[in-house]
Amino acid sequence: MRMICIDSNLLIYAFNLSSEFHQNSIKILNDTLISEGMAICDISLIEFFQVITDKKRLDKSLTNQEAKKVIERISHNEKIRILSMTNTILEKAFSTVAEYDIERYGIYDHIIAFSLLENQIKTIYTANTEDFLCYSFLQVVNPLK
């Protein structure tokens, strides 16, 4: 079974009740989990927490306790593989920042891309496809389109 990595934005849409992509994201997450197998990077869970608890950014943000429970459910789900950052991943990612012209917040997606490479996962589902198109080793899919 091939595994697909889910970017934080799909998780955010799934738990943001006011998002126009809410229902669609839930369906995508459920379908992916059942048919393909799902992975998510630890850094994406951090991004999820940052955004979903931000009252200034979301009309219906989650409390920190609600977000914690979501992350616990994800991390305890045997069908979801959490990809943890390692020294090897960090070394490879930082050794290629010049090659990929990485600056500022782009480092997060860069680390995610190299986490996928290290874990031999070839596909990422994201609403922000442009963030990953420069990685020839990844198939980048926006399942919301």
Mean pLDDT of the chain: 96
Domain 4-141, CATH 3.40.50.1010 — does that match?
yes
Where are any strands of DSSP class E within the chain? 4-6, 38-41, 80-83, 123-125, 139-141
Ordered strands of the 139-141 beta sheet: 80-83, 38-41, 4-6, 123-125, 139-141
Identify the pLDDT of residue 34.
86
Q: Please report, for the chain, the start and end positions of each structural domain, with discontinuous segments joined by +.
A: 4-141
Q: What is the pLDDT of residues 66-103, one digit of tens each?
A: 999 999 999 999 999 999 999 999 999 999 999 999 99
What is the model's pTM? Answer: 0.94
| pLDDT score for 86 | 97
Q: What tens digit of pLDDT does each residue of 8-67 get?
A: 999 999 999 999 999 999 999 999 988 878 999 999 999 999 999 999 999 889 999 999
**Position of tokens 């869970």?**
45
55 phi and psi, to 5 degrees? -65, -25
